[in-house]
Chain A
Amino acid sequence: MPTPTLTQSIVITLIQCLLVVIFVFVVVPLTVFAERKVLGHLQQRLGSTRVASGHIGVTGWMNRGMWKWGKIPVLSYWRGIPGLVGDVLKLILKEDVIPAKADKFVFFLAPSISMVAAIVVFAAISFVPGTFFTFPTWFPYLGGLPVSGGISDINVGLLWILGVATVGVYGIVLAGWSSNSKYPLLGGLRSAAQMVSYEVPLTLSLLAPVVLSASLNFSEMSSRMAVGMPAWALIPQVIGFLLYLTCGFAETNRLPFDMPEAENELVAGFHTEYSGMKFGLFYLAEYINMTVVSALASAFFLGGPWLLPFGLQGLLNPYLPGFLSWFAAPHAIFFVAKIVFLLFTYIWVRGTIPRYRYDQIMAVGWKYLIPLALVNLLLAAVIRCFVV
């Protein structure tokens, strides 16, 4: 395998960045779409599960004749897509109002901080260990060069992820403060307190995989947790997984922890004064954060890119016919599938339970989650010492 020159590796990294950005900008609208549809089905909403452009375009074609079996539309997944398109168009086209007394520079800065902090995390996330694909030899300039499964699989990956993700709270706090308005201020303050509090159990629950895998490198952690543990890491680390998921909900400001933007108390919380694409950036950041949290949970607790738990992978491998052999190897598709499942969980929870009160959230965080996270860490240490 040829070694890439410096320029070549820069080009490859840029390609990887592009792929990640594409991934993000495909997953986020799809999550929004899925949210509309799943909530639509959970809540029996009439619009988001039915509305379709019945006459024009691909969706119209899919909704008519061609895809119907008898009278039942076989492919009705596209129903509701006009709602999504309308949402996106609205975000892009709407007037961007800046309050007269706002701190304009910070008002501009805040959504970018949120967005950048959310997306930069992906630098250290490796979708699949090792090589993702190799350029074919005929490919100009990059022929024969491998592209790894993550942009930068640094050896302090987890530290990078946690560090950068924490910066995201600045976006929210600054947004709340710079709007020069009372509801955003309350929202910003709440979120500062909440996110700082939940950062602690979140990090503690991720320390357990660190202890178990004796590494901070993302792909190493992910593969050790997936291959070395029974049922991925779900059995020894089930507390950790649930803890992490709970804290993840809090970190991404989703129900039942959507304090900073508690619609019915604080109007829209920190982004009350935001409109147009600046609001869109917060919106995007929230969904990217959800993807990040799901990616970490999937990598450390659900076996990441490996398909089968319980060491079944090894048993299955010899029997797989050649064209199915990619089933056996870790593959980015499985990783993404697990992310998608966790994203579904987010929507599911949103459709099911009410919101905690602010002081109750703090109580849950400090009184229950942090002690539980410490116990879980101890458990991981015991497993590390005596079992693994």
Chain B
Amino acid sequence: MSAIPASPALRAAGPASPGRLGLQTFLANRMSLASAVIVLLILAAAVAAPLVAPHDPNETDLLRRLQPPAWLEGGEWSYLFGCDALGRDILSRIVFGARVSIFIGVAVVALATAIGIALGLAAGYLRGWTDIAISRVVDVLLGFPYLIFAIALMAMMGPGLQNIVLALVYKEWVIPCRVVRGETLAMRQTEFVEAARAVGATRGRIMFGEILPNILSPVIVVATIRMAHVIILEASLSFLGLGVQPPTASWGSMVADGRAFILDAWWVSTFPGLAILVLVLAINVASQGLRDAFDPKIND
């Protein structure tokens, strides 16, 4: 009997592993690295929000109603980005709002990726009726424009943090599922999977122990790209009043709150919107760097 070929996962321990090479490529890309640092800084600020935010995000002070940013006439340096219509500190609300955006981004993508991996592996490896059933559900869910699907679900389920996560996960899992299914189909005929099957490994062991470690790169790349998308979707839902409810600070609802004062107090909408742009742009640039480093097949 010939020797069982080592799986790429085992070989990955060597000095010139694809993972290490990918990491080196990523670290050498200054734009992506800087973007990753920005994302980490926002994450740190969100986690340590009570320590970082200069004021209580929900503390109202009508004497400071629509107070301009510090550098404009009438502004104060202790209220850097000014105050909203209820006299709440905009910077503090942005810092606390980051918690909502990041929590929803991470929770939705993590849940969707877990579901997508399980169903994508099952469809791609087991084939037959399992594949047909999963693929048809995927086709049907792809039949809905994403935002409309989420809006309809939020309309039916009602607003709230948990409902936003659910409304977005219901469709989001389809994307990692398709990626995993495609990669699994390519992997199931490889030598090391054949070898594992020959030595009697169970289906679960082959799917999660052999195939999954070898298809993780594209899955992680897709997950980071999707996180940016999910954050914009959450902000859009909150902007429409279907997301996180007041008084909890959310970037989307902060932009909506400032709309009525755009003539006299541009800062109320501008800074939360800028926060969304910076976070989403940083995630997009970092994920492009990740893609170039770990999944070079799809370059250009």
The judgment on whether A and B are partners is: no
Interface residues of A (CB under 8 A from B): none
